[in-house]
Amino acid sequence: MDELKNKVNEGLALPVMEAFYTIQGEGTHVGTAAYFIRLGGCDVGCVWCDVKESWDAGKWPILAIEEIVKGALEYPGRMVVITGGEPLMYPLGPLTKLLKAQGFRVHLETSGAHPFSGEFDWVCFSPKKFKKPHPSIYEKADELKVVVYHNSDFEFAETHAKNVADTCKKILQPEWGKQDQFLGKIIDYVKSHPIWKISLQTHKFMDIP
Ligand code: SF4
């Protein structure tokens, strides 16, 4: 058991809630086939989280990174998205290195709540009000994606936009359950603040994971 724990601490084995091949449904790379690796474990606690079952890492099998990569190699797409849970709870250097050595383009989806690690081709930073991001995320973010659930989320989005690079894509996305309430407001906001773009969770419209 201790040996397994050490491997997780070193990023050589990780708790995997699920891994599946699908279409990236949101953000800059929407529409692209991708293998998603959802790591178990999250201490952020978003009230509207749609994967609450991911929070307890202890519920999920711990897989060696070689085994995780083997799963990705079974499909023709060469884009991998590491998501969670909160993937930065673990050191991601070894897994991302191995994926890249196998020719994958490696993306991350994170709340940024833990220190940054890993080698990525694309980092989607989606800050949450429930746990402050670690400062290391700001210079790494290629995409700032703010989920709009409340009127105050526009101001929250602007606060984070000040800290990312100018080249970082800035995206507002209505929380799925609040789409009727916020889509119109987001459309108006983007029209008057054109540094932002709208993203919708198209995988939910397509009824795919
Ligand atoms: S950071 Fe993601 S996984 Fe964690 S609680 Fe928030 S939405 Fe859920």
Q: Which residues line ligand 1 (CB under 6 A)?
A: 42, 44-46, 49, 51, 54, 84-86, 111, 128
CATH number at residue 106: 3.20.20.70
CA of 83 to the centre of ligand 1 (A): 10
Contacts (Cβ under 8 Å, ≥6 apart) of 158: none
The candidate with the shortest Cα–Cα distance to 133, out of 111, 108, 118, is 111
- Find the mean pLDDT for residues 136-147: 98
Is pLDDT above 80 for 1?
no
Q: What is the pLDDT of residue 145?
A: 98
Q: How many domains does the chain have?
A: 1
Question: Probe ligand 1: pick from 26, 42, 47, 153, max atoms within 8 Å of CB?
Answer: 42
Q: pLDDT digit string (tens) for 64-116?
A: 999 999 999 999 999 999 999 999 999 999 999 999 999 999 999 999 999 99
Residue 204 CA to residue 79 CA, distance in Å, equals 20
Structure token pair of residue 51: 């994967």
Q: How far is CA 109 from the centre of its chain?
A: 2
> In terms of residue numbers, what domain contains 94?
2-206
